[in-house]
Amino acid sequence: MVLFINRFVSGLLVQVVRGKRFDETIDDYVPTVTVVIPLFNEGAAVVETLTSVLDSDYPAHKLRVICVDDASPDDSFERASEVARRDRRLTVLRNPVNVGKRSSINHAVRVSTSEIIVSVDSDVIVDRDAIRELVRRFTNPRVAAVGGWVDVRNKHDNWLTRMQVVKYWYAYYVMKNIERAFRRVMSVSGCLAAYRRSVLVELAPILEGRAILGVSIKYGEDRFLTRQIVKAGYLTTVTLAARCRTFVPSTLGAYFSQQLRWRRSNVVDYSGGCSHVWRLNPLLAINYFAAAVVLVVYPIGIYKALAAHKFLAAVLVHLTILTLYGCYYRFRVRTWPAHERVSAFSYMPHSLVMPITSGLLMVLALFTLDSSSWETRNHGAIQPAADAEREQGRRRAVP
């Protein structure tokens, strides 16, 4: 109840009270921007991403794009290079071995001289005004990161993608409101995000040294980066005016693999945040630690319900709540075009999916925190550079 009231009710109230100040903008700041796109095994799809970025309405003479191919075994590098030959603003680099997303981005940051670095995943389409809208949110020197709205490209593939449409809507339109109000958003998705280059350079040694039990971990890098930015005293925010679209998993196997990686990220992040989040605004600290408690308490509740033969009753409670959530979502998007929205009942299957992702997978995540596997789209673990010939990269399924 503490988490619900603080995240949903308080967040919405703060948004209403603050009005236009909730999403402050500035129009006389037009810095140089480099868009960084880490690439692995995207093939022809990367052409869509690169084209959408190069077609942005940001001033062409202040926009550069660096695509870093992370030793893809397919033709991704050739595809990106073909686009670069048509537009000189694009530079394509290639890592000799697979080193992961964060190292690829750090490589591009070191090469770049722009004031703002925009991170874009290689499987997304960026709206033409997205970069301009991100930059408009750097209203003072303390703002170090601005995230965009990650929307779903394959909304109507099946019941699972429709369920995720509602889930993503809540993640951006409701759940981050209390953090946005204080400009301390604790997780900015690298699918579409803008950073001050100086801050990325400052934090680079910390970002490149993540490991658990001596094993370098690649999951949760966006969340880890955001928390380190906040810990360093900078401001972070998210705007719904800057949108990108990404594909979400359309099969249960891919979805559960993604959720397992996210659960690992949650455990590591909430544990790491205990040392400094309590220094933030009390509402932010309550929100953060309440979410951490729910992360542990929810699986216990699920297992107790199973032991007491009350799992069906628990599912019915979930179903009732999620139906109400779906109705609220449908009311809020009622004016959107039909192809942009889904049914109010699309969120109902989450009543069966959530006990698995937040119950069973949560326990599994606790015992596999040292995994270096991305657990997504059939890519295996990222191995040390010495084993480059056997390396399997990763392709991000969702922001």
Query: Do 136 and 237 contact (CB within 8 A), yes or no?
Result: no
Mean pLDDT throughout 45-63? Answer: 95
Read off the DSSP letter of residue 28.
S
Q: What gap in Å lies between CA 126 and CA 193, rounded to an integer? A: 11
Q: Take residue 307 and report the two structure tokens written for it.
A: 């032991």
pLDDT 10s digits, 253-268: 999 999 998 998 888 8
Read off the DSSP letter of residue 57.
S
Strands 63-69, 33-39: pairing is parallel
The DSSP code sequence of 188-240 is --TTEEEEEHHHHHHHHHHHTT-EETTEE--TTHHHHHHHHHHHTT-EEEEEE
pTM as predicted? 0.87
Hey, is 236 helix, strand or coil?
strand
Q: Take residue 291 and report the two structure tokens written for it.
A: 């979410």
Query: Do 374 and 382 contact (CB within 8 A), yes or no?
Result: yes
What CATH number is given for 2-250 in this structure? 3.90.550.10
pLDDT at 395 > cutoff 50: no
pLDDT 10s digits, 205-215: 887 777 776 66
Q: What gap in Å lies between CA 80 and CA 54, rounded to an integer? A: 12
Q: What gap in Å lies between CA 256 and CA 323, rounded to an integer? A: 22
| Sign of the alpha-carbon torsion through 187, 191, 193, 196 | positive
Stretch (H or E) spanning 311: helix 311-332
What pLDDT is stored for residue 98 in this prediction? 79
Amino acid at 219: Y
Q: What gap in Å lies between CA 23 and CA 240, rounded to an integer? A: 9
Hey, is 41 helix, strand or coil?
coil
Put residue 231 in one of left, alpha, beta given phi > 0 → left and psi -120 to 50 → alpha: alpha
Q: Take residue 171 and report the two structure tokens written for it.
A: 């993640």
320 — pLDDT class (breaks 50, 70, 90): very high
Residues ≥6 apart with Cβ < 8 Å to 310: none
Q: What gap in Å lies between CA 356 and CA 53, rounded to an integer? A: 37
Q: Count, in order, helices (H) and strands (E) of the chain.
A: 15, 10
Number of Cβ within 10 Å of residue 47's Cβ equals 15
Angstrom CA distances, 355 to 281, 335, 365, stand at: 32, 32, 14
Burial class of residue 274, CB neighbours in 10 A (0-12, 13-18, 19+): exposed
Q: To the nearest whole number, what is the mean pLDDT of the chain?
A: 86
392 — pLDDT class (breaks 50, 70, 90): very low
Angstrom CA distances, 257 to 250, 278, 334, 364, stand at: 12, 32, 32, 11
pLDDT 10s digits, 163-220: 999 999 999 998 888 898 889 999 999 899 999 999 999 998 887 777 776 667 777 7
Residue ranges per structural domain of the chain: 2-250
Nearest to 359 by CA among 319, 290, 303, 317: 303
Q: What gap in Å lies between CA 47 and CA 35, rounded to an integer? A: 15
Query: Do 129 and 137 contact (CB within 8 A), yes or no?
Result: no
Hey, is 31 helix, strand or coil?
coil
